[in-house]
Amino acid sequence: MSREDEMKQAKKWLCENAAAVARWAVQTTEDLTLSGSFYTKEQLYAALEDSLPFLTAGRTGMTDLSNLPEGSIARRMIVANTADTVLKNSLSREFETPQGTETRYTTDGLLRAEQTIFSQAAEMTAKPTDGQPYADLSDIRKTVAQMAAVIDIGANHAFDMPPEYLKIFDDFLKPANLRIANGPPGSGKSTLAQGLLFALTKDAVENGKTPPDFYAAAPSEKAAADIVGDMNMMKDFCVRGGAAEIADYMPEVRGAPSLDDMIEKLRAGQIKPGSVLVVDEAGLMGARQTAALLTAANQQGIRLFMMGDNLQIPPKTAGNGFDQLLRNKDSLRLDVCELDLVLRQKTKGEARWTTDIREGNALRALEGYAARRYTGYALSESGQVNVSYSDTGDKGEPGLQMREDKNAVYDRLTRDFIRYRRECPAGSYVVMGTDEASARDLNLYMRREMIADGLITDVKNYGTADKPFEIGRGDTLILNKPVRMRGTERDVSVEIQAGTQLLVAGEKDGRPIVRCGDQCFDCAPRVLAENAQYGLALPLYQAQGQSKDRAFLAVDKTGCMDKVYGGVAFSRHVRQMSAYVSRRAYPTIEALAGEMAVFRTRQPLISDRAGCEILQERPRRTEEKVAADLKAGYDGAAAQKSAALKNRLMNLR
């Protein structure tokens, strides 16, 4: 087929299938803003060309196009004309970077999501809760003091309640349908949620009212399960802490597998007005999810409490609803509880180092860990693990070690981990790799050494000959998807969420027994083989939210330890930090600190006018208008272009 014949074929096809192509264009642009707020012309061209075969395949009258070579004139014509029509119409909005060197585009759909965030937040802040009046917590300090004592007794650890925290609780519990708490890792956000449950229940009991229903959720399944579990611990704390009269009335906090599931419950009217919904890790919500949550909560009359950190790992989807609320809090008249104190790290100076990383002074923190020597462990009468340390001697384990290469990092981390398991069996821990590939390699290395050392025994293959999956007593697994398991002590089926770590405790009748928290479950071998992987070491994004006595971190490559991920990595521990850094990745501590000073993972928001400016505001065009423009054909569109631009479009890829 000649070049001219191909051009005619493309024009004819565009005219005959204009409506389908218009829908394709709309979907492609929206897909481009699922993971990022903006896209470039080049990205639009590439997305259209990549998705063209999926548009034509299996459709009468279009299948012939799906067979055209990737670089054919007809295919390039279709892509170029469609892209030009998309950008000419209001399927995309045009933006400019601060430097003015690149034009970027976004969609009306994403802009509407951001506008919805602001409008719904303003409404929720302005009006009181319908149906059930907000609790009158006039004696908040007494309530907080009692809660602190209850947690102290129940959790068997020293709970420090600084005077500043009393005001934070007071602010967080002010009457409003939307309350926000923002703070660094370890600043007490989970404790704030527990205190909310305790305070509102206590107030209801003392005033002869029925406590509100409580719900908790988070963007990820693991975080959702964690916040529900943390809040439900409060009832047991009350029983053991001498507040049984509160425990008797305390409602069970209910959750959902994910935040999207909770939003669907709200939309369906399954949560009654006046209920309390706590959303943890709110910084992981994209713009569309935040808009959906606020809309559903506002329509249903829910008291919404959002907790997060706008300087931790950003959402995987476009926009950042939580950060947008924080940036616009003044115009929205939204009171934000800023948690400035770090309470997680109990060893002297380390809370300050966590703040240093957050504020851009990573070098001081890293040098502090490199100089610190942890020298031993002691177990208190209450079961609390304490660590001794020195900043002047050379004995003990450094908080940060520079090692020759990746293998040396894995070797020393594994040896220290095995020794810790044997010397301090009561101590909790989290092991981290920088990303999924590093975590996978570290898991395999540690597992091999733990088998050799006897920490993992009775290894059997629970997979198939073609796809083996060997596990043994002492293995740590992580679920890739939700799985229902049956308890060994209570014959109850429970759904365990994706991202949950499981410890293999043994075997019974050929079926593995796994431990999740303080419960054991009888699990079918195929379930683990098909739905789990080795999960002792976690990638950093999965470690967010963890709080353990000791943290082990392997840094074996560059490009993974910016300000956000570095802040997560060095804030998971309560008592001891153990970081192992490959010199091939970072020759010096200064080199690592330099990377941790950069917000590489943070993308500008559309609403951030310092990040980009709208160049053109156009009236909204419909798909019908786009289809009509497409029917004009290539010739009409090309006549308006310069020869250089036409040549560029014709030579794409």
The pLDDT of residue 507 = 87
The predicted pLDDT at position 359 comes to: 85
pLDDT at 83: 83
To the nearest 10°, report the CA torsion of 549, 555, 561, 566: 20
In this structure, which amino acid lies at residue 546?
A: Q
The whole-angstrom separation of Cα 278 and Cα 218 is 8
pLDDT greater than 80 at residue 326 = yes
Amino acid identity, residue 464?
T
The string of pLDDT tens digits covering residues 583-611 is: 999 999 999 999 998 887 666 677 665 45
Model confidence at 267: pLDDT above 90:
yes
**pLDDT at residue 555, rounded to an integer:** 96
Q: pLDDT (tens digit, 9 = 90+) per residue, 84-104? A: 777 776 667 777 665 556 778
The Cβ of residue 64 has, within 10 Å, a number of other Cβ atoms equal to 11
The 10s digit of each residue's pLDDT in 37-57 is: 888 888 888 888 888 777 665
Q: Which of 22, 162, 176 is nearest to 91 (CA)?
A: 22
User: How many other C-beta atoms can be found within 10 angstroms of the C-beta atom of residue 520?
Assistant: 19
Share of the chain above pLDDT 70, in %: 82
Contacts of 341 (CB under 8 A, 6+ apart): 162, 164, 165, 187, 188, 351
Measured between alpha carbons, how far is 479 from 521 in angstroms, rounded to an integer? 14
Please tell me the predicted confidence (pLDDT) of residue 547: 86
Average pLDDT over residues 444-457: 94
Collapse the DSSP code of 358 into the 3-class scheme (helix H, G, I; strand E, B; otherwise coil) and give the result. helix
Cα angle 325, 328, 330 (rounded to 5 degrees) comes to: 120
pLDDT at 159: 52
Is residue 69 pLDDT above 90, yes or no?
A: no
DSSP state of 544: T
Q: What is the mean pLDDT of residues 145-150?
A: 71
Q: CA end-to-end span of the chain, whole Å?
A: 20
Task: Tokens for 182, please give them.
Answer: 């923002």
155: confidence class by pLDDT, cuts 50, 70, 90? very low
With cut-offs at 50, 70 and 90, classify the pLDDT of residue 82. Answer: confident
Beta carbons of 263 and 288 less than 8 angstroms apart: no
Spell out the residues 6+ positions from residue 550 whose beta carbon is closer than 8 angstroms to its own.
387, 420, 424, 427, 428, 429, 430, 573, 575, 576, 577, 578
Residue 128: phi and psi, rounded to 5, are: -75, 165
Report the distance separating Cα 126 and Cα 114, nearest Å: 19
Distance CA 335, CA 174 (A): 9
Higher-confidence position of 620 and 121: 121
